Structure 1
Amino acid sequence: MADELELLRRANPVPSDDPRFGDGPLGHDAERHLNQLVGPATDERPRPGRFLPGHGGLSRLLRGPRPRRTRLVWALATAAAVAVTSLALLLAGPSTTPAVAAPRPLVVRADSTPVPLDRLAERADGAADGSSRLRKGTHVQSWSMGMSEDKPPITLPVERIVRWNADDSHTELVVATDPRRPGRPVLSEGGGGPRLVDDGHVISEQTFPPSWSDAPPESPPPHDARRLRAYLQDAQHTDTPLTTSELLDVTRLLLDTWTLGAREDAALARLLADADGLRPVGQVTDRLGRGGQAYVYDGSGFREMLIMDPVTGAVLGLESTATAAEPEYGLKAGDVMDYSAWMR
């Protein structure tokens, strides 16, 4: 090894004791060469970004392609990627999978019997005795995928707790955590890009002033199906009947704002039972270990799986899975794009 190191030192055109090694301004020629190295190709044009449907009414921007670099810059980027991968392996342990949170699609039990949604809605009506009441605020675990053309897709797991106070102010706590890997480092999104943080790392903790909005979804949702349908249309800012895809989107928005009571659960179950194309597929175990009945809707490029409590008809979770690959973003058919699991 000593011989190889000596050969490298001799090959180095600027050894560490060379006066040119110190910091200082670049000369004109050096600055011009640097700009040629890292500047975009002359035939490049910016392309518009794309949006990935997210949870809680939010969306994740899928950025357009970044300018191409020279082979030298790609080599440096590759070296950095190797370093990050090594760090992930180190934090996760030498014999375990790196803690980078890439959930697989939920699997329906092959021996289970699908329960039609209208039958589940009847069960929800029977359970709507007022034992659980409507409460503003939410407690949700979510996984959302971020993609770009120059990096592999990553899935970021967070837990969010929103609590409202008597004066209509509210607090929101967001932490990085993944219940599938308790105590393990979690991939989080930082200012300089994704990074590993400790399980339970606080991403944000905010208090918001009072809000007196009476527009859905801030106003309390009704507990009969007819009025709830109109309420959800208002939340989507449309006067036309909601498509099944829109109904699932606004269901996510509703549950990211409110913890429903038994009567509201029954009303929502009845609306979902009347939706076109939402078919029963059987039993699943959700990402928090809860058993539920799964219902699937195949939209344009996405497969939505709704998970509902088999007794009360409450919505437990909602999963979006890609049905078509997008090679430019490293997306494969079957990749989980987004998942939410709501808790009581």
Structure 2
Amino acid sequence: MADELELLRRANPVPSAGPRFGDRPLDEHAERRLDLLLRGDERGLDRLPHGEERRPRPRHLRRWTWGLGSVAAACVAVLTLMFSGTATAPAVAAPRPLVVEAGSAPVPLDRIAGRAAAAGDTLRLIEGTHLQAWSLAMTSGPGARPPVTLPEERLVRWKADGSHTELVVATDPRRPGKPVVTDADPVPRTVEDGHVLSRRTYPPSWSDAPPVARPPHDAVRLRAYLEEIDRTGPLDTPGLLDAVAGLLDNWTLGTRENAAVVRILADAEGLRPAGAVTDRLGRGGQAYVYDDRAHSVRRMLVLDPSTGAVLGLEETVTRDDPEFGVKSGDVLSYRAWMR
């Protein structure tokens, strides 16, 4: 399984010493719980001060999907997890919301579209994708447990005969070499970094339906292509962002396709420039934000300022939801696409 993880890291090496891996220090309570777990003293969890009680092991966890059809992601700064039938899991640091760099100048999407168009045809369209994602598993109702971060990395490659392979491993570039929480079994448990969750080979297929069909590289035809992906009615901004994500889950775009995507995004209502950000893989980008009030979600799209390539898409809740244990400002999902 180490070979598969090394394959992914060679495809997009991420230095473990990068500044993006710096998490906030644990508070006194978290340090105390972590120390008890590292010493194997589960009984000590029953003797926590300030009237705290040891939480029973959760009977089930499930992934919460918001109405937009996006998979939710981490929302807790530090979690101590205990799963039935498994050893005690280590504390898990969840991603924090991306922060726009103070004083950075927002760049209009029209300007990014112009840069992308001027880049020519330097990058080619590739069938397949390389994706790092953080998703959320959570429970609801009485006795619900805190949400759990589930990091995965996915590599999809197509072959000349129309067949393709899909490799999914449990890994978190913020914590290289550390245990990773997964619910792929589907019982949540911890696995070693690089654990293969699935490795599949699919027979030849030549579909003419999006998003499997080859995407066009002019804005008018690509918008029609994205409308076929969405299929929920007129392509509004939430639907457009979902459709672009669906496209990137199947294709690694070339220079011309990137330019067409940005041209379409430039016309999206309510998608506003926010400034410069550094994404979760350490790449510099420009952030564009859409407030989806109907679903109480803020969406942040991160673009490469030179090529217009979509680097990531983050979703953050804007309203407390006690039933699922999320609060306004918690990250619900994040996906990072790579070449």
- TM superposition score normalised by structure 1: 0.73
Verify: 1:104 aligned to 2:117, yes or no: no
Distance 1:339 1:198 in 2: 22
| Superposition deviation, residue 237 in structure 1 | 2.4
User: Shift in Å at residue 59 of structure 1?
Assistant: 5.2
Deviations 1:137-166 (A, max 9, x none): 000100111221122111211000000011
Q: Which residue of 1 aligns with 2:108?
A: 116
What is the Cα deviation at residue 135 of structure 1? Answer: 1.0
Give the drift of 1:54: 9.6
Point out the structure with max Rg over C-alpha: 1
Residue in structure 1 matched with residue 38 of structure 2 by the alignment: none
1:123 and 1:313 in contact (8 A); partners too: yes
What secondary structure does 1:125 align onto?
Answer: helix
Instruction: Tell me, yes or no, if structure 1 residue 282 matches structure 2 residue 275.
Output: yes
Partner Cα separation in structure 2 for residue 207 and residue 270 of structure 1: 35
Q: Are 2:170 and 2:196, in contact at CA under 8 Å, matched by a contact in 1?
A: yes
Hey, what's the Cα distance between the residues in 2 that align with 1:286 and 1:148? Answer: 29
1:88 deviates by: 2.6
Change (3 A) 1:120 1:81: same
1:281-339 alpha-carbon deviations (Å, 9 max, x no partner): 10100000000000000002100000000111111000011111110111111111111
Q: CA deviation at 1:191?
A: 3.0
Distance 2:83 2:315 in 1: 31
CA RMSD of aligned residues (A): 2.3
Give the conservation status (yes or no) of the 8 Å contact 1:101–1:157: no
Residue-by-residue CA offset, 1:203-237 (whole Å, 9 max, x unaligned)? 00000111121111111111010111111111122
The aligned residue for residue 306 of structure 1 is: 301
Match of 1:10 in 2: none
Match of 1:52 among 65, 89, 93: 65
Asked whether the 8 Å contact 2:287–2:302 carries over to 1, the reply is: yes
Question: Where does residue 254 of structure 2 map in the other structure?
Answer: 261
Alignment of 1:27-106 (within 5 A): 52-53=65-66, 81=82, 87-89=88-90, 98=91, 100-106=92-98
Q: Percent identity among equivalent residues?
A: 62
Q: CA shift at 1:246, angstroms? A: 0.3
Whether the 8 Å contact between 2:82 and 2:89 is mirrored in structure 1 is no
Structure 2: gaps spanning 5 or more residues: 1-61, 73-80
The 1-side partners of 2:183 and 2:83 are apart by 19
Structure 2 equivalent of residue 292 of structure 1: 285
Return the structure number with greater helix share: 1
Is 1:145 aligned to residue 136 of structure 2? yes
Distance 1:211 1:58, change over 3 A: farther
Q: Does 1:319 align with 2:314?
A: yes
- Give the Cα separation in 1 of the matches to 2:104 and 2:89: 38
Which residue type is aligned with residue 256 of structure 1? D
Q: Which amino acid aligns with 1:140?
A: L
Correspondence for 1:210 among 197, 204, 213:
204
In 1, Cα distance between the equivalents of 2:320 and 2:71? 20
Report 1 or 2 for greater relative contact order, CA contacts < 8 Å, sequence distance ≥ 6: 2
Find the aligned partners of 2:319 and 2:70 in 1 and give their Cα distance: 22
* TM-score of the pair, normalised by structure 2: 0.74
Take 1:278 and 1:331, find their aligned partners in 2: how far apart are those partners?
24
Q: Distance in 2 between matches of 1:84 and 1:323?
A: 35
Query: Deviation of residue 280 (structure 1)?
Result: 0.5
What residue number does 2:325 align with? 330
Contact 1:138 1:255 (C-alpha < 8 Å) held by counterparts: yes
Report the Cα distance in structure 2 between the residues aligned to 1:326 and 1:294, rounded to whole angstroms: 26
1:221-256 alpha-carbon deviations (Å, 9 max, x no partner): 110101111111111225x53100000001100000
Q: 2 CA distance for matches of 1:230 and 1:208?
A: 28
Aligned residues: 265
Name structure 1 gaps, 5 residues minimum. 1-48, 61-79, 90-97
SS of aligned partner of 1:287: coil
CA deviation after TM superposition for structure 1 residue 51, in Å? 5.2
